Amino acid sequence: MAAAAARDPRAPVARRRRTRTGQGRAGPGRAMEIVHVYTRRRSDFGRPCCFSDRPAEVCVDIQPDPSLAEAFVPRSPVDAPVQHGSDMSEHEVNTERVEVETRGVNHVEGGWPKDINPQELEQTARFRKKVEKEENYINTVVHLGTLMEHCVRQNNAIDIYEEYFGEEEEAELEDESPSAKTINVIRDPNVTKRTATHLSWHPDRCKKLAVAYSSLEFQQKTEDMSLDSYIWDLENPNKPELVLKPSSPLVSLEYNPKDAHVLVGGCYNGQMAYWDTRKGGLPVEVSAVEASHRDPVYGAIWLQSKTGTECFSASTDGQVLWWDIRKLSEPTETLVLDITRQGLLENALGAITLEFEPTMPTKFMVGTEQGIVIACNRKAKTPPEKIAGTYSGHHGPVYALTRNPLYPKIFLTVGDWTARIWSEEAKESSIMWTKYHLSYLTAGCWSTVRPAVFFTTKMDGTLDVWDFLFKQNDPSLSLKICDEPLSSLRLQDNGCIVGCGSKLGTVTLLEISSGLCTLQRNEKNLANAMFERETKREKILEARHREMRLKERTRSEGQDAEAEEILEESPQEALDRAQKEFFEVIEAELQRRARAEAQHLHGKVKKHAEEEAVVQGEESKLPKYEEEDEENVAPKE
């Protein structure tokens, strides 16, 4: 209460109010105000504060009122829970990645006694002869010899590692549920991460992986973003084996299947470059900027040729160019992806993926941004004829396009939210497709071993393995690899190990369980039967559609000319007609309502008069609507 003495002179009247229930002089059951009031004269306000010490004095003394105690009942025992939980804290520790390097050690002969020089043959020979004459040596050798002979004979008698029951192992594989194991994770060593846009396995032993890194976001390239792409050796995921240094980031990169030292890469700025790994990280030759693509080169594939130096590339600028890497200054051939077959670049579709099967060297396919797959024939005489057919069915860009390695007529496309399987024979639609997923599909490939198994990756970072013979609704195996979108996928030739690249440049290598990468009994026949059946179904549907369209056409040709004109009204006419119909409907409804109300209030005269006013009011609103609509229509015109 001594604090009350330090007053704030700006407050008009300083009051200390404390309310306590059940206590105080007013008695029980009433909120009591304990108030300490002091007053000052108005003229004293605004004066400077002058603090001084003074002894404590009691301002208020509130005595306890024993009579209130009757309002309370003592309670005993009292249950009061007390909890003490020990404080826990959570800590995470992650050890730093250890950089491991492999080095060799050179052996040098040693162990000789000091006086003998190991290089001198005489001395060593003399030492040896001396040792051989020792008795200890002779005894030891005899003893050890018998021991050794026993073991050698054992080995000669029985081979303990012989496979006794090799034929019976196949029966055990049926019940294994599909799974996959991460064997390695390779990260982009740069600070600013780029997307791993393309993966290519080394053709011989698949121990090396070439990864193209670039940032595909529009104009996201920062100053410190490195242009390099790397070749990784799987034994050493910390440090790339070779750094490829193009002049512009690589979007696609492929090993030459004939010559494992040569790689071709398509750059972000449209150029093509090729490397020889024996010659280092700089490209051996780069194509001329004028003759190259105008957009990033999304697909670059090697062709089958005697020289092994031919490749072709596709880009979203609508062109497919053929190159010979010995002379990258200009392409050997060009094709414009114009499906109206006029060869106009303006009409051309942008290519996102390219597909080529070495067993069919004259045909190739291009997946476009517009969702159409174009099948082309390289050997056609005129450029318009090169485009053999189109398959449309995707709503968005076709991100992956691969033929089934065992049934080349069947190919897989991945785009928008589905993956679709097509047959070359069914041109109108895909023969089989997956359901629409929640996230966009980014890449896909067939299994090289099993004809009905394929892999897809999604934008939410999951890898799905589909076994279409087993289950078509859902993937057989769905793995969440990382949180960022996966951008590329590549299977090794053995069908077991798959690499997926993500948006932040992390390449994850997974080993698929053997159930998904070993050919089951009779699988080829079953898969063949399934594809044939679906193709037949599509062909029947196609034929039916054609029939229906033909019927429609003949029917519409047989009608009157007037009817035809009505059908072909302009948008403005359609608008007017729609407006008229709309008002007709409103008027009819209003009249109906008016009649209903008039009947309902038939006896009441007063309301009848009001009613008419209401009806008139509604009708007067109509012209207002019309005016409003005309106002809207006028600016459109």
Partner 1 sequence: MTELENYLFSGIPIRTTLDNSTTVQYAGLLCQLTMKARSTVRDIDPQNDLTFLRIRSKKHEIMVAPDKEYLLIVIQNPCE
Applying CB under 8 A, the residues found at the interface with partner 1 are 107, 109-112, 127-128, 131-132, 136-137, 140-141, 143-145, 147-148, 151-152, 155-156, 159, 161
Per-residue DSSP letter, 169:
G
Shortest distance, CB of residue 129 to partner 1, whole angstroms? 9
- The distance of closest approach from Cβ of residue 102 to partner 1 in the complex, given in angstroms and rounded to an integer, is 18
Place of tokens 């109300």: 597
Distance in angstroms (rounded) separating the CA atoms of residues 336 and 374: 11
Min dist. Cβ of residue 155 to partner 1 (A): 6
598/72 Cα distance (integer angstroms): 72
Shortest distance in whole angstroms from residue 127 CB to partner 1: 8
Instruction: Give me the torsion for CA of 586, 589, 591, 594, rounded to 10°.
Output: -120
Which CB atom, from 132 or from 259, has the smaller least distance to partner 1?
132
Nearer to partner 1, 127 or 417 (CB): 127
Shortest approach of partner 1 to residue 168 CB, angstroms? 21
Q: How far is the CB of 163 from partner 1 (least distance, A)?
A: 11
CA distance 600 to 148: 121
Nearer to partner 1, 156 or 632 (CB): 156
Shortest Å, Cβ 107 to partner 1: 6
Separation of alpha carbons 517 and 111, rounded Å: 53
Length of the chain: 637
Contact yes or no for 364/378 (Cβ under 8 A) = yes
Q: How far is the CB of 140 from partner 1 (least distance, A)?
A: 5
CB-nearer residue toward partner 1: 130 or 279: 130
Residues paired with residue 509 on neighbouring β-strands, in sequence order: 184, 499
The closest alpha carbon to 318, from 343, 287, 301, 286, belongs to 343
Phi, psi at 564, each rounded to 5°:
-65, -35
- Residue 249 contacts residue 215 (beta carbons within 8 Å): yes
Select 1 or 148, whichever has its Cβ closest to partner 1. Answer: 148
Quote the CA–CA distance of 322 and 333 in Å, as a whole number: 5
Q: Which is nearer to partner 1, 85 or 111 (CB)?
A: 111
d(CA 561, CA 72): 102
Could you tell me the two tokens for 164? 């006794």
Sheet strands (E) in 72-216? 180-186, 195-201, 208-214
CB-nearer residue toward partner 1: 154 or 342: 154
Residue among 132 and 428 whose Cβ is closer to partner 1: 132
- Closer Cβ to partner 1, 43 or 156, answer by number: 156
Reduced to 3 DSSP states, what percent helix, strand and coil does the chain have, rounded to the nearest 5?
25, 25, 45
Q: Tell me whether residue 72 or residue 161 sits nearer to partner 1 (CB atom).
A: 161
Q: Where are the alpha helices (DSSP H) in 445-522?
A: 514-517
| Smallest distance, partner 1 to C-beta of residue 151, A | 5
Nearest-approach distance from CB 123 to partner 1, in angstroms: 12
Q: What is the per-residue DSSP string for 505-540?
A: S-EEEEEE-HHHHSPPTTHHHHHHHHHHHHHHHHHH
Beta strand pairing call for 180-186 and 31-37: unpaired
Cβ 447 vs Cβ 475: under 8 Å: no
Q: What is the smallest separation between the CB atom of 115 and partner 1, expressed in angstroms?
A: 13
Structure tokens at 317: 């600028």
156 vs 522 by CB, closer to partner 1: 156
